[in-house]
Structure 1
Amino acid sequence: MKLSKHNIRTFLLSANQKIEEKADFISDKLDKGGEMDFVTYPPNCGFTEEETRSLEKLKNDSNLKNALRKILANNSAGVLFDLFNIIDGTSEPDESFGKWTEICFVDKTDELAEDLDFLHDELYDKYWDWREIRPEKGWKLDNYDG
C-alpha cells in the first residue's frame, strides 16, 4: 500500500499551514517582547540573559517582524524539505548516526495501527543524543553546561 493522493495533499497542506503558523507565532512573540518560555527546542530553552536582552531590541518593529516571519518560515520549510528527501530516498542521513534502511509513508490501516511508535514523542529527547555527537561549533542551542 502507498500513501494516497488525498493524504499527500492534506499532509503537505498541513505542513505549509504549520510553517506559516509557527513563523507568525514566533515573530509575533518577539515583536511583543517579554518571556521566552514559548521556545520548546532545545528542551531547556537555551537563552542566556544577554541573548534575551538582545531579543528585546526586536520589539515593535513591523518590518523586522515581517522579515523574521519569512526567515523562520524558510528555515522550517528547508528542514522539512531535507527530511522529505530522506523519506523519498533522494538523500540519506549521515551514516555516522547509525544504520539506515529507508522508510516510507503509507496510509494507516487497522493492521498498521498496532504497536506504532510516535516520532513526536522522541524528537525532544533525541536532542540530548544529538548534542553528544554534534561537532564543536563554539556555540550551542541550550544553556546546559554539563
Structure 2
Amino acid sequence: MDPRKVFLIELHEIIKDYSEIRNQLVDPSEDNIIWDEFKLSKEEVNALKKYNFDDVALSAIEKTVRDTILGAFHDAFALLDAVADPNIVEVDKTWLGLALSERELNEEEENEEFLHDEIYGAYWDWLEQRNKDK
C-alpha cells in the first residue's frame, strides 16, 4: 500500500483513539492528563464530577472531539502543503510548505530531529509568539 495512504489510515485510527475520552469525563482526575502543562486543577476535576454524563452525551462529546482533532490535522496538512500560510509566525519569504517523504531502509540523517519529539518543546515557542503582540 502507498506509504501516504498507510500514514493517513493510521492517522484516522490515532484520532479515533484519542477522541475516546469518556473515561476522563466519567472518572476525572488530575492524573488523567499526561503532559504537566495541561493537568486539570482540583476545581476543574470537581466541575467534571458534578456532571452525570450518559452514553448519548459521551458519544456526542467524543464525536465533537474527533471532528476537532481531524480539523486540526487538516489545517496542519494545509500548512505543510502550502495551501495555507503561517498565522502567528512572520516568515521572510513566500511560504512553500514542507515535504514529508518516505524513508529508505537504513536511511538516517545525522543529528536528525524528530517531529514527535519537537512538538512539546514547540509549545513554548507558540506561547511566546502568541504573547509577542500582547
Provide TM-score, normalisation by structure 1.
0.74
Aligned runs of 1:1-146 on 2, under 5 Å?
6-24=2-20, 26-31=21-26, 33-41=27-35, 43-94=36-87, 96-98=89-91, 100-110=95-105, 112-115=107-110, 116-135=112-131
Aligned residues: percent identity?
25
Alignment length (residue pairs): 129
CA distance in 1 between partners of 2:90 and 2:42 (Å): 33
Give the CA deviation at 1:46: 4.0
Cα 1:79/1:107, change in 2 over 3 Å = same
Which structure has more RCO (C-alpha within 8 Å, separation ≥ 6)?
1
Most deviating of 107-116 and 79-88: 107-116
Question: What residue identity is the alignment partner of 2:83?
Answer: T
- The Cα shift of 1:79 comes to 0.6
Whether the 8 Å CA contact 2:28–2:49 is kept in 1: the answer is yes
Pairwise CA RMSD = 2.4
Q: Which amino acid aligns with 1:64?
A: A
Look up the SS of the partner of 2:28 in the other structure. Answer: coil
Cα offset for 1:30?
Answer: 1.3
In structure 1, C-alpha distance between the alignment counterparts of 2:103 and 2:113, rounded to whole Å: 13
Residue by residue over 1:50-108, the C-alpha shift from the partner in whole angstroms, topping out at 9 and shown as x without a partner, is 22211113455212210111111011101100011111111121263555552111111
Gaps of 5+ in 2: none
TM-score, normalised by the number of residues in structure 2: 0.80
Q: Which one-letter code corresponds to 2:117 in the other structure? A: D
Structure 1: give runs of 5+ residues left out of the alignment.
Answer: 137-146
